[in-house]
Amino acid sequence: MVRVQVVGLKPHAEKVISSLHRFGGMQIDDIQDNPDVTVPAFTVSEKVRARHEEISLLIASINGLADLFGSLQKPAKDQPKQPAVPPKVEYIHKQVSDLVEQVQYLNNRNKALQDELVSLSRYISLLKAISDAVPETSVRSGNAALRALVPAAQMHHMQLLAQQLKMITRGKFELVTVKISESVFAMVGIFPLELTDQVETFIRNENITQLVLPEEYTYLQTGEALRHIQKKVDHNHQELDENDARLKRLAKTWLARLRNWRMVCEDLLDELDAFGKLGETEYTFVLMGWVPVEQLDSLRQMLESRFKDEVTVHVLDVPAQMQGNIPVATRNPAGLLFRGQLSHYISCTGGVEIHGNVGVLLHEPFL
C-alpha cells in the first residue's frame, strides 16, 4: 500500500469523491489523523449536510419497511445483488414514500378493525345472554328496546323505576331481567317506538346507565343487533385477512428492491461522509489516503483524464507514528461479498479489500 495525497480545486471535491468511489479500493483517512498535515478541516456545505440528512432519513424509512417485509417473507438464501445501473435517490425516495403511505394505511386500518373487534366481542356476549330471555314482543317492528346493566345491589331500585315507566307509558312498558353474573344483571325494557322520547327523558332524569350499542345498532332489536354485529365481526376478519395478504404481496414485490436501494443509499452516504475527512486551503481541498501500489498509475490516469491538472496525486512518506497503521490489501478474485466496517456490502470482484484503520472506504459498488 502507498500513502497518497490528492489535492484539487474546491469545486471539484464532490466529483473527485464520486470518481474515487467508482474507482474502488482507495481508503480515505481523516485529515486530522495525519500528524504531518496541518491544513484545517474541510468546510462542509449546507447542501452536503442537507443531502446527508435526506439520505439518512430515507435509509431509516427503508429499514423500517425492510424489517416489516422481512418478517412476512422467508429469509433469502442469497445476498442482495446491486443493479447494474443504480437508481437515482429521487426515484428511490418517491417509491419508498408511496410504500410507506400504503403500509401506514394498512396498519392503521388493521388497528381500527382490531379495536372494533375487541369492542364488539363484549356486546356479543351480552346480547347473546339477553336475546335468549327477551319475549317475542321485542321483535315487533313497532317496538324499541332499552338496555341497561345494573349491579345486583340496585335491582330493587330499578324495579321501582320500571313500575314508574309502566305508569308513564300506560302499561306499554315491559321489563325483562337477565342475570349476567352474580353481581350484574341486564335489564331490557320494551316499549312502542312512539314513546321513545318519554322513556329517554325519564332515563336521563334518573341517571340510569344504559347499555349503549354502537350508533348504527342503537335502535335495533336485541336479536337483530346481535345478527348485525356478528356479521360485522365476520366482515372485519375478512378485511384483516385481505390486508395481511396485501402486505405479503408488497413484501414479495418490494423486499429485494428495498435491500438494493439501501445499499445504494449507504454508498451515497459514504461519499457524503468522506467530506468530513478532507482538509482545505483557501482554494483547494486536500485528501489523504492509501491505494495499492499497482493501482497508483490507474488512479493518476483516471483523475487526470477527468480533471486535467486541476487535481493532482502525490505519493507521501509514512511518518513513524503511522507505521503501525498501514492498511493491508488482500486480493479477492472469487468476487465474494465482505461485510466491511462501513456496515454495507463491499463488492470486490477481482479487486481489493482493504483492512486496517479505515476512515472511509471507497469501493466499486456496481460490478
Q: What is the pLDDT of residue 92?
A: 95
Q: What is the pLDDT of residue 82?
A: 55
Per-residue pLDDT of the chain (367 residues; tens, 9 = 90+): 899 999 999 999 999 998 998 888 788 999 998 888 889 999 999 999 999 999 999 999 999 999 999 999 876 665 556 555 678 899 999 999 999 999 999 999 999 999 999 989 888 877 887 776 666 555 567 877 777 778 788 778 878 888 888 888 888 887 778 777 788 887 777 888 888 888 878 877 777 767 777 878 876 777 888 889 999 999 999 999 999 999 999 999 999 999 999 999 998 999 999 999 999 999 999 999 999 999 999 999 999 999 999 999 999 988 888 887 787 764 444 333 333 333 333 333 334 443 333 334 443 333 3
Q: How far apart are CA 51 and CA 272, in angstroms?
A: 8
What CA dihedral angle connects 153, 154, 155 and 161, to 10 degrees? 170
Write down the pTM of the prediction: 0.68
Architecture of domain 1-42+278-367 in this structure: 2-Layer Sandwich (3.30)
CATH class of 124-226: alpha beta
Residues of the chain with CATH 3.30.70.2170: 1-42+278-367
Tell me 293's DSSP state.
G
Residues of the chain with CATH 3.30.70.2750: 124-226
Render 159-197 in DSSP notation, one character per residue: HHHHHHHHHHTTT--EEEEEE-SSSEEEEEEEEEGGGHH
Q: What is the pLDDT of residue 244?
A: 96
Q: How far apart are CA 16 and CA 277, in angstroms?
A: 13
Please state whether 218 falls in left (phi above 0), alpha (psi between -120 and 50) or beta: alpha
Render 57-82 in DSSP notation, one character per residue: HHHHHHHHHHHHHHHHSPPPSSPP--
pLDDT tens track for 112-126 = 999 999 989 888 877
Q: What is the pLDDT of residue 169?
A: 83
Q: How far apart are CA 80 and CA 82, in angstroms?
A: 7
Tell me 210's DSSP state.
B
Contact, 239 vs 157, CB < 8 A?
Answer: no
Q: How far apart are CA 54 and CA 40, in angstroms?
A: 27
